[in-house]
Amino acid sequence: MPAASEAADPNFMLSLARGLGVLRVFEGRSSLSIAEAARFSGLNRPSASRCLHTLMRLGYVREHGGRYSLTPKLLPLAAGFLTSTPLASVSQAVANGLRDRLQETVSVGALDPSDPGRIIYIARAERNQVIAAPLMVGSTLPSHCTSMGRVLLASMTNGAREQWLSGAVLESRTERTITSPDALRGELCAVAEQRWSLVEEELEIGLRSLAVPIRDRDGTTLAALNVATFSDAHSREHLIDRYLPDLRAAAGQLERAI
Amino acid sequence: MPAASEAADPNFMLSLARGLGVLRVFEGRSSLSIAEAARFSGLNRPSASRCLHTLMRLGYVREHGGRYSLTPKLLPLAAGFLTSTPLASVSQAVANGLRDRLQETVSVGALDPSDPGRIIYIARAERNQVIAAPLMVGSTLPSHCTSMGRVLLASMTNGAREQWLSGAVLESRTERTITSPDALRGELCAVAEQRWSLVEEELEIGLRSLAVPIRDRDGTTLAALNVATFSDAHSREHLIDRYLPDLRAAAGQLERAI
DNA sequence: CTCTATCCGTCCGATTATCGGACAAAAGAA
DNA sequence: TTCTTTTGTCCGATAATCGGACGGATAGAG
């Protein structure tokens, strides 16, 4: 039982959507049985089995003792996007530069095109590259409690934002997370006006981060650039006084390059 | 006109294969018109149009003035693979460690499951992280003229290797590239026995690289670990005397961790 | 050891999603 | 302008796909 409203489009290939839906179920899970894939994707057993069978023959999935897992074949697709999209490749270079300048972790993210509730990292430069980070290019985070998410949500049209807000559940990540739609709406309004967002310990206790938008020539916001710090290292004022100008400069550099 | 031999499989979803085929056409191209997508994917116009339309509704593709391009939505899929596959995540950590130890660029790669002719990078640690590298996780390279490719080809069963060799065109990248199937077969035989591969300037003039296999408990080769150097920096002997022991140690560490 | 609950592979009829040739309009290029 | 290429759409025929159902296999519980 998919959406129920996606019918009546003679140009929509349902089988393709189903197959990609099965692929998506692997996000975060290392292996799946057929029954699990069926449950998580909302398909019946035979359909899920057919999808996995097809994906296996195409080389995207492999099977071991009844359990299916992804192969590296997805990686070239992602790398193709990263290298052929100017926004992505330039973002990585700019993030590296700003990281070196500030000695802080710098990231660039965009909204998931089909779910404004989450952001996707498209570039990331870590302050301390030794640590195995829990975040990387391709990682996702909720948008309502992150500085990049706030910047991106603030850039949406009123209609789209309200539509999303009406159906969204604002998960509480810490006791400081804004979970009320009204409060979030107010905050987004301020973000839209000041053109930056500072979020303190709403995603995780101890984290403070600041983000600014990346816009194209038409003024459309394409992505957000942010710097993430530990709360006890720098004050709110320090971020705004010291880092915001550099963030803005880097954002401008990126905007000129794409 | 696809393959012509893939018919008669009642469990194969052709539409899914077609859609993924269209996605794959974007590798390396930043944007495509419908007609181009149709040409490159081997479909007719209406079919390619349907695929793009569907991919757009699913959020994997976007359209601007009649040209279609990928969205970041593919990235979480790749990141999901990297984080949920022990081989991939541990590889990155081991590569970082070996990079720090040798002060050289270290990579881990695997064969494309549906095309032994190319290898896919699943981890990479650069010696000089300032340079914007042409290679990253997800990049692909021909296997016949790379050290990782040789190691991986040497691990194939005779049957599979011969089948691939019989239909492969061994592209010449430099004047030193082995392009004769017989010569390659001989080289692979040696690689299989000595358990390492040293390739000198067959991919690009000035590059010398050394690779060793990564095997699971059953002895099946899953990937290859390599160190890449400039020819004028270190001799062939230096690589074998100095780097091979460390490469082997790192490979063993990786093998124990997965 | 038996019973039970899943899970898996498969079959097959019904349906419907999909295919692709064709046409007309639109957009460019010459 | 004229010619070429692209695009959106229609539609009948076809074949691909769906999913309920069955039987065997497996595993864990009692």
Write out chain B's pLDDT in tens, 258 residues: 333 333 457 789 999 999 999 999 999 899 999 999 999 999 888 999 999 999 999 999 999 988 999 999 999 999 999 999 999 999 999 999 999 999 999 999 999 999 999 999 999 999 976 666 789 999 999 999 999 999 999 999 999 999 999 999 999 999 999 999 999 999 999 999 999 999 999 999 999 999 999 999 989 999 999 999 999 999 999 999 999 999 999 999 999 998
A47 touches strand D (CB under 7 A): yes
Establish if B93 touches chain A: CB-CB under 8 angstroms: yes
Residue A1 has pLDDT above 90, yes or no: no
CA atoms of A188 and A197, how far apart (whole Å): 9
Query: With bands split at pLDDT 50, 70 and 90, how would you rate the model's confidence at A133?
Result: confident
Structure tokens at B112: 């494309």
A160 and B CB contact within 8 Å: no
What's the CA–C1' distance between A35 and D28, in Å? 18
pLDDT value for A152: 98
Q: Which residues of B touch A117 (CB under 8 A)?
A: none
- The pLDDT value given to residue A3: 35
pLDDT, residue A177, reads 97
Which domains, and CATH codes, for chain A? 14-71 (1.10.10.10), 76-257 (3.30.450.40)
The per-residue pLDDT for B22 is: 94
Q: Across all residues in chain A, what is the average pLDDT?
A: 92
Interface size A-B, in CB pairs within 8 Å, comes to 220
Residue A149 pLDDT level (bands cut at 50, 70, 90) = very high
Question: Smallest Cβ distance to A28: which of B19, B74, B84?
Answer: B84
Protein CA B54 to sugar C1' C8 (Å): 31
Residues of A in contact with B58 (CB under 8 A): 16-17, 20, 114
Q: What is the pLDDT of residue A132?
A: 67
Residues 198-237 of B with CB under 7 A from strand D: none
Q: Is the CB of A8 under 7 A from strand C?
A: no
Chain B window 30-59: which residues touch A at a Cβ cutoff of 8 Å?
A: 30, 49-51, 53-55, 57-59
Report pLDDT for A90.
96
If you write DSSP's letter for every residue of chain A in order, what string do you get? ---SSS-S-TT--HHHHHHHHHHHHTTT-S-B-HHHHHHHHT--HHHHHHHHHHHHHHTSEEEETTEEEE-TTHHHHHHHHHHH-HHHHHHHHHHHHHHHHHTSEEEEEEEETTEEEEEEEEEEE-SSTTS--S--TT-EEESTTSHHHHHHHHTS-HHHHHHHHHH-----SSTT----HHHHHHHHHHHHHHT-EEEESSSSTTEEEEEEEEE-TTS-EEEEEEEEEETTTS-HHHIIIIIHHHHHHHHHHHHHH-
pLDDT of A83 higher than 80: yes
Provide the percentage of residues in chain A whose pLDDT is more than 90: 87
Choose from A5, A12, A13, A98 for mutation: most chain B CBs within 10 A.
Answer: A13
Its sign, for the CA torsion B120, A88, A200, A153, is negative
Q: pLDDT tens across A21-64, in order?
A: 999 999 989 999 999 999 999 998 899 999 999 999 999 999 99
Amino acid B8: pLDDT: 58
Nucleotides of D under 7 A from a protein CB: 5-11, 16-21
Mean per-residue pLDDT, A174-187: 96
Any A CB within 8 A of B158 CB: no
Q: What per-residue confidence (pLDDT) applies to A4?
A: 36
Predicted confidence at residue B44, as pLDDT, reads: 87
Contact yes or no for A16 and B132 at CB 8 A? no
Interface probe with A: pick from B5, B18, B75, most Cβ of A within 10 Å: B75
**How much is the pLDDT for A168?**
93
